[in-house]
Structure 1
Amino acid sequence: MTRVPLSILDLVPVPSGTEIGAALDQSLDMVKRADELGYERYWYAEHHNSPAFASSATSLLIGRAAEHTKRIRLGSGGVMLPNHSPLMVAEYYGTLAEMYGDRIDLGLGRAPGTDPMTAAALRRGASTTDTFLEDVLDLWRYLGPRDDARGRAEVKALPGQGTRVPLWMLGSSLDGAAVAAHLGLPYAFASHFAPDARHQALRLYRERFNAEAVTAQVSASYAVAGVNVLVAPTDEEARFLFTTAQQMAAGIRTGQRVKLQPPVEDIDATIGPDVARFVDAFQAVRAVGSPATVVRELEAIQADLGVDELIVTTYTYDPAMRVRSFQLLADAYFSETANSN
């Protein structure tokens, strides 16, 4: 069986006791390895006001990664469009495309990527009107053909115009699926943290996909699903290391914003049984274990959702264990023997 492409989502995790600069350097090391290992794309997710993540400035992270990689596609997973002017996003990503060619993806989300107070501080103006669809259309116009007279002819994204940076729609509910289908965009569903609506959203996207839309980026629906992954030599070690990610998810439930914590032997005792049940449901789409276990679980997730690509996210307290996880996964997933079965 030929497996679907495999990609990486990075929030630039910051372990306890680690400075942000070191976490950024560790993320750079990771994208260089991903480029060598055969992963399809490497996306950075915009988050704000969280000690656990250093991924607020996606375009800067992409530019640095592009300077140190050769093959892998780089992009945002995504830019939270309510926080930004479409013109400025077009200029940033148009600049990246002019500098690095056709390796840049622009994934778009409609959530702020943070808490309400920080969202208010990020907001572009006093208005609370939802202009997401209009903003996406503006972006499409700004990045469109150089001779395109449609739209805002008096305002041009320079750089940006004519680069046609591929637009992706991100989502964790039916809303993003509907917008992606209406506009004919590829769609990435955040099943790694919002698993409940995954089947319904992906079905809606495929059923309503409009390949004839003037904004269409692909000729047929193309869906990606996020998966929580941790690979170690044994199932037991992987489950132990995964308790760092479980503690992170528990912090979301309890409102405790802290850096990544060391793994623990008894996660239920550490976070409490009620929170543990929330975490288990929150991270329901996961593949944790030895290389054979994880590949088998990824195949099952892909078959269940029918997606065209998987994008995995991994959190470990020790950055070396994250590198090892992606190495072990690549060795198992991309092997010629495995793909010929």
Structure 2
Amino acid sequence: MTVPLSILDLAPVSAGSTRKQALDNAVHFAQTVEQAGYHRYWMAEHHGSATFMSSATALLLGRTAEHTSSIRLGSGGVMLPNHAPLMVAEYYGTLATIYGDRIDLGLGRAPGTDPITASELRRGGSDLNDFATDVLKLTQFLGGSDEVRDEEGVSGAQASVLGLQVNPNRLHRTVRAIPGEGTKVPLWMLGSSTGGAQVAAELGLPFSFASHFAPQQLSVALQVYRTHFKKNARTAQVKEPTVMAGVNVMVAETEREAHYQATTYKKMQEQIRFGSTGPLQPPSWEGVEVWQNPGIDPTGIIGTPDTVAEKIAQFVDIYSLDEVIVSCNAYDPSVREAAVTTLAKEWGL
């Protein structure tokens, strides 16, 4: 096929297994998709969820980097209202310093949780202007030069370590992300509406749309992004509009088996719809229906490897995508590994 495929993981925990097992399964999943030829492995930040264990993405990605060698790793994404930009730059700059040019930083402005949990994260709101300002700070923190020299005299941090008193007039005035500056970790803007598209266009960043769960504004968001993209922005990281979009899939040897395994995801959707979370439930034959849908629904592309690959290819053509990021959830970790592996072979990775 014509564009790269990547993977989005949330480290789901299944009923009857432990949270530690879920995190171990995520590492094995990353190794599997690396061997299958996927371009990126991203983890999405979620908080307070009994379903997903991906709250501390930087920690999990560091562990994953230790057990993989070539696949790009990143956040899909860091929910920036939850974090100070300096800390994000330090965390992901540290990953880039250790593992080199394998690290991506996807940024979103949703809280990744419920309002009460979001308030306990104690950062700020998701106002579009504030969000854009934070993204701009990140580009500055990560784009600084390693050759920058301190002003004469010790900095505040050095003085603290040495137990010295420092004249305020001699404090280092420039806030720096160390490590982080000079790593130029690639930034991606995430979105499920036109807000993220506006920021991505204004700053000249690649854009990833969450069509795997919220495709309603995909068309208008991509139009906004491509129409207003500023390739000459000081913060630009790509020369032309670059779009990734998500799809949720289940792949099996038969249509009936694929729809059977997909009942786990459907149960999870129902839980979320009614405001509850919990471990992934086993699939069930009850209510399984196999239907031929001529349209493209990125929230559920289900079937055999050839039919799923065909649907994704149509999705790419319709929206002129540069990359597709695949989400796959199954009760049995070996089922989702088999699903994405067979898809990769069919796609020609």
Shared topology, TM-score over 0.5?
Answer: yes
* Equivalent residue runs for 1:1-341 within 5 Å: 2-124=1-123, 131-146=130-145, 154-267=174-287, 284-334=298-348
Measure, in 1, the Cα distance between the counterparts of 2:190 and 2:298.
Answer: 19
Query: Displacement of 1:284 after TM fit?
Result: 4.9
Instruction: Find the counterpart in structure 2 of residue 274 from structure 1.
Output: none
Residues 48-98 of structure 1: CA deviation (Å, up to 9, x unaligned):
111000000111111111111111100000000000010000000000000
Query: Displacement of 1:118 after TM fit?
Result: 0.5
Residues 264-294 of structure 1: CA deviation (Å, up to 9, x unaligned):
223489xxxxxxxxxxx9x653321111111
Measure, in 2, the Cα distance between the counterparts of 1:244 and 1:53.
Answer: 14
Instruction: Specify the code of the residue in structure 2 equivalent to 1:207.
Output: T
Instruction: Specify the code of the residue in structure 1 equivalent to 2:111.
Output: P
**8 A Cα contact 1:235 1:293, kept in partner:** no
Structure 1 29/287 Cα, relative in aligned 2: closer, same or farther at 3 Å? same
Instruction: Specify the code of the residue in structure 1 equivalent to 2:182.
Output: G
Q: Residue 264 of structure 2: SS of its match in structure 1?
A: helix
**8 A Cα contact 2:263 2:288, kept in partner:** no
Residues 230-256 of structure 1: CA deviation (Å, up to 9, x unaligned):
111111100110011111111111112
**8 A Cα contact 2:260 2:288, kept in partner:** no
Measure, in 1, the Cα distance between the counterparts of 2:288 and 2:38.
Answer: 34
Query: Displacement of 1:33 after TM fit?
Result: 1.1
**8 A Cα contact 2:189 2:207, kept in partner:** yes
Q: Residue 110 of structure 2: SS of its match in structure 1?
A: coil
Q: Residue 92 of structure 2: SS of its match in structure 1?
A: helix
Q: Residue 313 of structure 2: SS of its match in structure 1?
A: helix
**8 A Cα contact 2:246 2:298, kept in partner:** no
Residues 3-52 of structure 1: CA deviation (Å, up to 9, x unaligned):
21000000001111111100000110010111111100000000011100
Measure, in 1, the Cα distance between the counterparts of 2:119 and 2:112.
Answer: 12
**8 A Cα contact 2:231 2:239, kept in partner:** yes
Query: Displacement of 1:160 after TM fit?
Result: 0.4
Equivalent pairs counted in the alignment come to 319
Measure, in 1, the Cα distance between the counterparts of 2:263 and 2:324.
Answer: 22
Measure, in 1, the Cα distance between the counterparts of 2:122 and 2:242.
Answer: 31
Instruction: Specify the code of the residue in structure 2 equivalent to 1:142.
Output: F
Q: Percent identity?
A: 52
Structure 1 144/128 Cα, relative in aligned 2: closer, same or farther at 3 Å? closer
TM-score, normalised relative to structure 2: 0.88
Measure, in 2, the Cα distance between the counterparts of 1:324 and 1:102.
Answer: 28
Structure 1 322/162 Cα, relative in aligned 2: closer, same or farther at 3 Å? same
Which consecutive residues of structure 1, in runs of 5 or more, have no partner in the other structure? 270-280, 336-341
Which consecutive residues of structure 2, in runs of 5 or more, have no partner in the other structure? 150-171, 290-294
Structure 1 54/300 Cα, relative in aligned 2: closer, same or farther at 3 Å? same
Residues 181-201 of structure 1: CA deviation (Å, up to 9, x unaligned):
110000000001111001111
Q: Residue 242 of structure 1: SS of its match in structure 2?
A: helix
**8 A Cα contact 1:82 1:123, kept in partner:** no
Q: Residue 250 of structure 2: SS of its match in structure 1?
A: strand
Measure, in 2, the Cα distance between the counterparts of 1:167 and 1:188.
Answer: 11
Residues 209-248 of structure 1: CA deviation (Å, up to 9, x unaligned):
1100000010111100000011111111001100111111
- Give the superposed CA RMSD: 1.9
Measure, in 2, the Cα distance between the counterparts of 1:90 and 1:81.
Answer: 11
Greater Rg over alpha carbons, structure: 2
